[in-house]
Amino acid sequence: MKKFLLAIGLLSLAGTAFAAGKPCETVKSEIAAKIEANGARHYSLTVVDKGTATDGKVVGSCEAGTKDIVYKRG
């Protein structure tokens, strides 16, 4: 039973680390596809350091949470 719980714990940590480390361009492309699927055409997505977004809406994060992706209508 202890081995089973240890295995589950390690797998959940490994999955979290893999998902959190996505490159910004990959996440940005995925977000852009969703936005365009909803019909938006005039917008911009910008990658900025975490906490430095002044205008626009933070719509995602990447590189283990160190950067934000900001959406701005254009």
Q: What predicted TM-score, i.e. pTM, was given to this entire model?
A: 0.69
Query: What pLDDT is recorded for position 53?
Result: 75
Top-confidence residue, 26 or 7: 26
pLDDT in tens, 11-37: 554 444 445 578 999 999 999 999 999
Residue 69 CB burial class (10 angstroms; 0-12, 13-18, ≥19): buried
pLDDT in tens, 48-69: 999 897 789 999 999 999 999 9
Domain boundaries, the chain: 21-73
Buried b (16+ CB within 10 A) or exposed e, 2-16: eeeeeeeeeeeeeee
Computed on alpha carbons and rounded to an integer, the radius of gyration of the chain in Å comes to 16
Residue 9 pLDDT level (bands cut at 50, 70, 90): very low
Are 70 and 48 spatial neighbours (Cβ–Cβ below 8 Å)?
yes
